[in-house]
Amino acid sequence: MGRVAGWLFDAYVQGGEAVIWIKAEDGRAIRLRDSYSPFFHVEPRGPAAEDEIMYRLAECPDVKAVRIEAKKTSLVDPKPKRLVRVEACGTGPFRGLVKALERHPMVAAVYNASLRHIQQYLFTRLKVEPTSRVSADFDGEWLSKVERIDDSGAIEPPPFTVLRFTVKYDCTGRGRAIKGIRASFGGEEEAFTGSTGGAAEAFMAYLREKDPDLLVSPKCDGVAYPLLKEALEKDGCAFLPGRCEDREQIRRQGSAAGRVFLGGTAYGFSLDDRGVAGLAERARFSFLPMGLATRWLSNRSIDSRNCFELIQRGYAIPRQEYFEEVRALSELAERDRGGIIMTPEAGRLHENVAALDFDSQYPNIILKDGISYEGGRGAASDEEGAFKLIPAVIGPWLARRMALKRLKRALPEGSAARAYCEQRVDALKMILVTQYGIAGCCRNRFGNVVAFEEINRRSREAMIRAKRVAEGRGFRILYGNVDALFVSRDGAGRCDYEGLAAEIASVTGLPMSLDKHFRLIAFLPLKGDGSSSAINRYFGITFDGKIEARGIEMRRGDVPEFVRSFQEGLIARVLGHGGAREAFSSGVDDGIAFVKEALREVRSGEVPADRLVIRKRMRKGIGEYAASVPQRAAAVQLMRGGAEVEVGDEVPFVYVDRGHPNPSCRVAVPSRFASDYDREAYAKMVIEAASSVFSGIGIRLGERLEGPPITLDAWIGRISEH
């Protein structure tokens, strides 16, 4: 007998058993085996059918055991039913048994069959979330007992080591051939070149030497993993990426015998942005191994947690229980609406503005009002203490996110602890926001469109109440967007705004806080229609000097870094002199000079090409784009160079001649860029970014670029307007 303390690193099922890996506190990776028998439940069509099914299954050589169990099968009708539990002889015959019984005329429904084996093992036997801190007892190589150690107060991520690598390859008539591998571990980089097999073998030796836990590679499942496997097998070498000879399950769930393979950017989850700390939060919420938690979208992660919670409460999981009724058109017109928008006052500069934010508004509405899939018309059940799935799932995680947000504010800027905290907060935010978004989705196993509508309705009510409270206290509403109010009052200070937030929270029953306190803020008009206001497009400077913006060039990933940096600098120059009067005098003068200098840099060719790279995501296949679309031309260039470009990939390029009659000659990918960039194309981007800023404060940029310096007297009329 032995005992080990550490972190539940990975788990997978192979054959008739489960394997779990624990990363011990002393750094060792420990492999333990556990028994696993897959099972599912069958609902017979009456007592006679039950007897017949029990008899036939008892005689089946692929069935290990059958028995009757009482299980709840519906959220709407939680009364238990008599079900036949069918335990298969391993994972091999499992799928065949399920399919046969689903087609059988005596079977009304089959339950728990849509869960993966690893989910069933984790939910019904291990009952510990992957990445959790654990203490495990074992006898030889067999697990005896595992207990979760509470580490909810820990900010640092589990001590999983990370190796990143990229496989470069050429496409030839005989397929793809590796031309090099670059890897980094512990801050050091290595390059492996030579023949296809030689580079792969050298990398595998490096992998064994460094012994990492996590392997991160762009397009892991479609490129890096198959290329390595093919190269090694062609040279007669076995592909053994793990710590033992267990069969790897990389494409299935990222598991590789004691290591986990992740993509550079997994579905909705970037390890670069959210780190191992965020990955741990996502895996624990999802109740999934890390490889699956990143390969599945948030809706499937939520479904996984839903299924775990229901199984613990005596439910058998149906394939689908989506709720939607036939309703009158008048009811749809009344209920089928989103959150409330209050149009901003655009094209002018506002002073002393507070952004008040409902903290996690939708999740808090769900908890406060008990909204869930099973509630009639999306409302709370009348039965006191009745189980409600959505509140039961999100309640602990919302409380955790709010506690982490409070902790983050108290941690020093730039500290590692604050970064870990932020990664955890962001990972949970993605899941909690998705919980609202999929509430009425037909692909949600338990979706109920009325629950989704009810959340929106109560959100609108909360915003209207907040508006009335603010206006009743003499504040002006400058802008409102679903869960945020931008308010102002002459002479108001931070304490006044915090008091208003507290009063709104008291009236609505939803937590609200002062998110940002702007010294100056401007809301943009619609492009091409200066008389109308754009939604969620603004910029400003807070009282502590921080530039904040939404919906403009500096916040867009498909804008070159030079232009993003330029626009942020322009805002700082225009708004950084004090109040509105100073902005319209010395601020505008400084801003115009800054624009002219940026244009000079661009037009003289001084800007490095790497600061002009544009990145566009491929939203569809190359063949579906018109020839004139720049990302298509860039994707073709990449493919000619041996790269694979798929839907969802970001394609980088630089404009070299935007007006060329041949679309293929308008752009160049960075690896093929060897000439000058299109200076006028980038000058136009600079002007557009500058126009966004100046239009926000009601100034036409145009002639100012060529005219004389702007003086205080020239703007005295505009200042008086504000």
Q: Are residues 510 and 628 in the same domain?
A: no
Q: Are 8 and 24 in contact (CB under 8 A)?
A: no
| CA–CA dist 487, 509 (Å, integer) | 20
Q: Are residues 240 and 351 in the same domain?
A: no
Structure-token match 């009708």, residue found: 77
pLDDT digits (tens, 9 = 90+) for 234-287: 878 888 889 998 888 888 888 999 999 987 555 556 677 789 999 999 999 999
CATH code for the domain of 632: 1.10.132.60
Per-residue pLDDT, 714: 46
Tokens, residue 28: 């060792």
Per-residue pLDDT, 718: 46
18 within some domain? no
Q: Are residues 374 and 486 in the same domain?
A: yes
Per-residue pLDDT, 108: 94
Q: Are residues 708 and 592 in the same domain?
A: yes
Q: Are residues 642 and 494 in the same domain?
A: no
Tokens, residue 8: 């539940």
Report the domain count for the chain: 4
pLDDT category at 323 given cuts 50, 70, 90 is low
Mean pLDDT of the region 605-618: 93
Residue that is last in its domain, among 497, 527, 548:
548
Q: Are residues 470 and 591 in the same domain?
A: no
CATH code for the domain of 524: 3.90.1600.10
281 within some domain? no
658 within some domain? yes
Range list of β-strands (E), 417-528: 476-481, 484-488, 512-526
534 within some domain? yes
| CA–CA dist 556, 575 (Å, integer) | 21
Q: Are residues 578 and 660 in the same domain?
A: no
Mean pLDDT of the region 657-682: 89
pTM: 0.86
Q: How many residues does the chain have?
A: 722
Q: Are residues 474 and 572 in the same domain?
A: no
3 within some domain? no
pLDDT digits (tens, 9 = 90+) for 411-458: 999 999 999 999 999 999 989 988 888 887 777 888 888 888 889 999
Q: Are residues 603 and 618 in the same domain?
A: no
Tokens, residue 655: 């404009």
71 within some domain? no
501 within some domain? yes
Q: How far is CA 113 from CA 72, 469, 705, in A?
A: 15, 52, 68
| Environment class of 309 (CB within 10 Å of its CB; exposed 0-12, middle 13-18, buried 19+) | middle
Instruction: Map 251-304 to HEC letters.
Output: HHHCECCCCEEEECEECCEEHHHHHHHHHHHHHHHHCCCHHHHHHCCHHHHHHH
Q: Are residues 520 and 585 in the same domain?
A: no
pLDDT digits (tens, 9 = 90+) for 70-126: 999 998 888 999 999 999 999 999 999 999 999 999 999 999 999 999 999 999 999
630 within some domain? yes
Residue 326 pLDDT greater than 50, yes or no? yes
pLDDT category at 722 given cuts 50, 70, 90 is very low
244 lies in which domain range? Answer: 162-212+214-257
Residue 308 pLDDT greater than 60, yes or no? yes
Mean pLDDT of the region 587-604: 94
CATH code for the domain of 222: 3.30.420.10
| CA–CA dist 320, 161 (Å, integer) | 39
Q: Are residues 594 and 618 in the same domain?
A: no
pLDDT digits (tens, 9 = 90+) for 185-230: 988 888 888 776 788 888 889 999 999 999 998 878 878 888 888 8
pLDDT digits (tens, 9 = 90+) for 565-587: 999 999 999 999 989 999 998 99
Cα-Cα-Cα-Cα torsion 285, 287, 288, 290, nearest 10 degrees, comes to 40
374-390 core/surface letters (b: 16 or more CB in 10 A; e: else): bbeebebeeeeeebbbb
Q: Are residues 622 and 505 in the same domain?
A: no
